[in-house]
Amino acid sequence: MELHIKVPEEIDKITQLKVGDILYVTGKVFTARDEAHEHMLKMAEKGEKVEFDTSKMILYHCGPVMKKNHKWKAVAAGPTTSARMELFEKEFIEHYKTRIIVGKGTMGNKTAQALKEIRGVYATFTGGAGALAATSFEEVENVYWLEELGMPEAVWIFNANDFGPLVISIDSAGNNWNAMKQGNSEKIKEEIFKEIDRN
């Protein structure tokens, strides 16, 4: 299945998606890597609020390369390895209610459970295609904590147009491509060992 949606207006359509389906998203995207996750969670612990509505945006694990003439513009916006965010993601989802997360590679079962609870999804974007991703980001709406965190770790907010293709790796039912793949690998391994034993 291939789905094109506008966020936040059509976000509930993500519940139709299954692992392996393709998603394209139009709407606001905010970037957050390790340091931004940690910074925002510390703010939450102190009862401080961020100035943007994370529940109506896509979270993108990305440290974009930016340049500024009159305005900021993304030169490249490839995904960061999302496994690094597993430490923070469950708590982040529970507090910030972000229902679409995009990154690179796999995420764990804690993230899958948190997404299941809010009927969210985790999708992957192809690593090494940062220039392609940047073409989807038509405008930089804002940037937060640039001086404190630096360019790649700051939170950038983009207006995205048809950002994708994004491959669903964790669906809203909590099915996790990584866990499914591992399960299949274990089954294949057992069958190989049985065949070896017979010989």
The residues assigned a catalytic role are 37
81 — phi, psi (to 5°)? Answer: -60, 115
Q: How far apart (Å, rounded) are the C-alpha atoms in residues 197 and 191?
A: 10
Q: Which of 60, 126, 134 is nearest to 98 (CA)?
A: 60
Give 3-state DSSP helix, strand, coil % of the chain, rounded to 5.
Answer: 40, 30, 30
- The structure tokens listed for 134 are 């940047």
Q: Where are the alpha helices (DSSP H) in the chain?
A: 34-45, 86-96, 109-118, 130-136, 146-149, 177-198
